[in-house]
Amino acid sequence: MYGDERRSRIIAESAGFIALIAAGSWISIPFIPVPLTLQTFFVLLSGAVMKRWAVVPATLYLLLGALGLPIFHNGTAGLGVLLGPTGGYIVGFIGAALVAGLAYEHTSEKVRVAGLVLATAVIYLFGVSWLALSTGMGLWAAAVGGMLPFLPGDAFKAAAAYLVARRLA
C-alpha cells in the first residue's frame, strides 16, 4: 500500500483508535489513586493493528486532551491532568504504542506477546515514576498503589488485545 491510500488508512485508523482510547477512558473501575480503564487495551490493540504507526493516535490522543478536548478519564482534559498523578500513565501510552507496534512488525507470536507485555511495562514505568514524583510518594509506595492492584487486569487486557488482533489479522 503506497501513497495516498496508505496515508488515508493511517488517518482513518488513527481517528478510530483515538475515539476508542477516549471511549475506553469512560469504561472504568474506580481504584485509588489510578482508575482501571480500557484505555490500555485500545493502546495495545492499536499497536497490533497499526504497527509502528500506532504512535500517531497515542500522541494525538495526548495532545488533544492536553489542549482541552475532554477525552481523558471521565471527560477530564488539560495539562493539569497530565501533571496530576495519572499523567505519567497517559504519557506512557506513546511509548507503549510504539513498543507494541514494533513487536507486531515481526511474525513471531512470541515476539508479539512479549511486545504487549513490554508495552504494558512501559506504561507502568512512566505512570509509577510520575505518580511517585507528583505525589511525593516513595517509588515503592507508588508501585504498590499504582501498579500491583492493576497487574491482573492489565494481563487480561494484554491477552485480550492479542486475541482480538489475531481475529483481525
Give me the amino acid identity at 9.
R
Region 132-157: what's the mean pLDDT? 95
Residue 38 pLDDT: 94
pLDDT at 68 over 80: yes
User: DSSP letter at 51?
Assistant: G
Question: Taking 70 as the threshold, does the pLDDT of residue 11 lie above it?
Answer: yes
Phi-psi region of 74 (alpha: psi -120 to 50; beta: other; left: phi over 0): left
Percent pLDDT > 90 in the chain is: 86
Mean pLDDT of 49-55: 98
Bigger pLDDT: 74 vs 163: 163
The mean pLDDT value for 41-58 works out to: 98
What's the pLDDT at 34? 62
Q: Are 21 and 93 in contact (CB under 8 A)?
A: yes
Q: What is the pLDDT of residues 88-108, one digit of tens each?
A: 999 999 999 999 999 999 999
In Å, what is the CA distance from 153 to each residue of 19, 38, 65?
A: 22, 10, 24
Summary count for the chain: helices (H), strands (E): 8, 2
What is the reported pLDDT for 169?
77
Distance CA 132, CA 137 (A): 5
Cell of 76: 477530564
The whole-number pLDDT of residue 164 equals: 98
Query: Closest Cα to residue 28, out of 93, 72, 65?
Result: 72
Please tell me the distance from the alpha carbon of residue 127 to that of residue 132, in angstroms, as a whole number: 9
Q: What is the dihedral of CA 120, 71, 53, 94, to 10 degrees?
A: -40
Confidence of residue 36 (pLDDT cuts 50, 70, 90): confident
Please give the CATH topology (third level) of the domain spanning 3-162. Answer: Arp2/3 complex 21 kDa subunit ARPC3 (1.10.1760)
